[in-house]
Structure 1
Amino acid sequence: MNALVVATLVFACLFGGTIAGMRASRRLQERHLSKETQEAVKLGVGMVAAMASLILGLMTASVKGNFDSTSRDVQQFTTYLITLDVALRHYGPDADPARLALRAYTEHALAETWPDKAAVRVASDESEARLSQVGRLIRALDPKTSDQGDLRSEAIERYKALSALRWVLIEESATQVPPIFTIVLIIWLTFIFMSFGLFAPVNAVSISVFLLCAMSLGGAIFLILEMSTPFDGSIIVPPDAMQNALRHMVK
């Protein structure tokens, strides 16, 4: 779901609903715009507005929580990469093939998750194959001393944690706002703005205010949808941690 397209649709529906309400008020008879009618409409719209606020708050909290969790997991992922590289480095020259494979995997993961121009690919068969190669090379190590045996065991544990966390990140990257939530929210907000326009005076000030309000809510939906895809769009988890891990490996 393209965030900019949805945000534009939200703005169009909300502002269009306001204008439709203003136009409808000019065709209604005076008794339909009485004080009692306004109070009744306000009660009904107030309930819908409360539900819309609740849904909007839940959506914001959900995507923000997922975004923060993904950011923390990326930090943890890079920590595992660095500590695995350190263990292999201390093992000695026999672990150099595993270190090179780990570096190649890190470069590939960085390129496919944070590409310059290509589409984002958090999970791919090639990435999985590269990481599996690292595991095979680590298990193939033949320790000559007790220290090397401990380092091999540590490297295997780090590799297992790395593999598990990779799948966590893959699942987190696929978490998106259910379309039905967005559709229902747009319908509710459009109804609310239509009721505003029904009793609002038709002048430049009121139209300008409703225009800004529609833009603000469209921007809020845009931010929510952008944050729901932590590796794609204009709001993403930064690649700084992965870049730092790669720099540490090439020292």
Structure 2
Amino acid sequence: MNHLVIALIIFVCIFGSSLLGLYVRAMLPANHLSDDSINVVKMATGLIATMAALVLGLLVSSAKGSFDTMDHELVQSAASVVRLDRTLARYGTETHELRASLKHIYEGSIEMINSDDPAQLARLGGPEAVGRTEEFQRQVEALAPRNDEQRQLKARALAIVDDLFAGRWLALLQIKGSIPVSLLIVLVLWLCIIFGSFGLFAPGNATVIAALFMCALSTSGAIFLIQEMSTPLGGMVRVSVAPMRVALARLGE
């Protein structure tokens, strides 16, 4: 499901629970709203609020870590592609076709990553894309060095290709990262209880309703950002492919 739709559903649940609290407040007998009752409910909801804050903090940290890892891997892969191209260039004129093939494969990868289309992103790990990259590796392995310098350059090129493949699979494994559904349901339930208690002990005026609206919007917005950063190759919040385009422009020089 789209992250924006999920965030909207969460907002409706949270804000709706606060409005329900305001409604229930008007229906309760006065003894249910005594100071002793309010203190007990505040302590109970305080415990839930602490747990929700801890979970939200951990989720934000985890999502930011995934986003930063993907961003680092794309920058690292861009630098590695340029290194590979320059290594092949130093090897000799017999690598001209290999360098052209490298540029073609890398350009296709950039377009798939930048498409924001799940079907295109899935093709990154499809048989066709994997076959092209493995064929490229076999072509590098098939090079026949004529001297010590070419042997060193071939070994270096193969090492860079291995690093690129490792980074590629790391990116593929993070495409579908998201918050576990069970954790999201529990978290939203906690937030509904907290906002319901806010409405239960607040006067039902426009200022309170506006404050509850903004708080519910901010909380659902935080969950939206967590989900977006957990999938750094898609959605509204995504890693930049600018370093990859800069690297592409340097290939073949």
TM-score by length of structure 2 reads 0.95
Amino acid aligned to 1:220: A
Matched, 1:231 2:198: no
* 1:208 counterpart residue number: 210
Does the Cα contact within 8 Å between 2:100 and 2:252 map onto a contact in 1?
Answer: no
Is the 8 Å Cα contact of residues 108 and 127 (structure 1) preserved in structure 2?
no
Q: 1:198 aligns with which of 194, 197, 200?
A: 200
Equivalents in 1 of 2:219, 2:14: separation in Å? 9
Aligned 8 A contact 1:114 1:120 in 2: no
Is the 8 Å Cα contact of residues 73 and 165 (structure 1) preserved in structure 2?
A: yes
Q: Write out the 4+ residue segments of structure 1 that deviate beyond 4 Å after TM superposition.
A: 116-120
2:153 pairs with one of 151, 154, 175: 151
Describe how 1:46-65 pairs up with structure 2 within 5 A: 46-65=46-65
Secondary structure, counterpart of 1:173 in structure 2: coil
Structure 1 CA distance for aligned equivalents of residues 86 and 231 of structure 2 = 32
Indicate conservation of the 8 Å contact 2:116/2:233, yes or no: no
Bigger shift: 68-77 or 34-43? 68-77
One-letter amino acid of the structure 2 residue matched with residue 29 of structure 1:
P
Q: Secondary structure at the match of 1:86?
A: helix
For residue 223 of structure 1, what is the amino acid of its counterpart?
A: L
Match of 2:12 in 1: 12
Match of 1:185 in 2: 187
CA, structure 1 residues 100+8, in 2 after alignment: closer, same or farther (shift >3 Å)?
Answer: same
Tell me if structure 2 keeps the 8 A contact 1:97–1:137.
Answer: no
Is the 1:120–1:232 contact (alpha carbons within 8 Å) kept by the matching residues of 2? no
Q: Distance in 2 between matches of 1:4 and 1:193?
A: 21
Residue ranges of structure 1 left out of the alignment (5+ in a row):
none
Counterpart mapping for 1:100-119 below 5 A: 100-115=100-115, 119=119
RMSD: 1.4
Sequence identity, in percent?
Answer: 36
What is the DSSP-based 3-state SS (H/G/I as helix, E as strand, rest coil) of the residue aligned with 1:174? coil
In the alignment, the residues of structure 1 paired with residue 252 and residue 16 of structure 2 have an alpha-carbon distance, to the nearest angstrom, of 57
Deviation of the 1:241 alpha carbon: 1.3
Encode CA deviations 1:24-67: one digit per residue, 9 max, x unaligned.
11111110111110000000000000000011001000000111
Q: Equivalents in 2 of 1:106, 1:21: separation in Å?
A: 56
Partner of 1:135: 137
Greater shift after overlay, 109-118 or 163-172? 109-118
Determine if the alignment matches structure 1 residue 37 to structure 2 residue 13: no
TM normalised by structure 1 equals 0.96
Structure 1 residue 147 displacement after superposition: 1.3
Unaligned runs of 5+ in 2: none
Instruction: Tell me the alpha carbon deviations over residues 4-39 of structure 1, each in whole angstroms, 9 at most, x when there is no partner.
Output: 011101110111001101111111111011111000
Q: Which residue does the alignment assign to 2:83?
A: 83
Query: What secondary structure, in the 3-state scheme, does the structure 2 residue paired with 1:26 have?
Result: helix
1:2 aligns with 2:2: yes
Kindly provide the CA deviation profile for residues 89-134 of structure 1, in whole angstroms up to 9, marking residues without a partner as x.
Answer: 1111111121111111101111111117674414222221221121
Looking at structure 1, the residues matched to 166 and 117 of structure 2 have their Cα atoms a distance apart, in angstroms, of 28
Aligned residue identity for 2:140: I
Q: CA deviation at 1:187?
A: 0.6
> Residue 103 of structure 1 contacts residue 249 of structure 1 at CA under 8 Å; is this kept in 2?
yes
The separation in 2 between residues aligned to 1:177 and 1:116, in whole angstroms, is 20
Determine the C-alpha separation between the residues in 1 that align with 2:99 and 2:153.
13
Q: Aligned pairs, how many?
A: 251
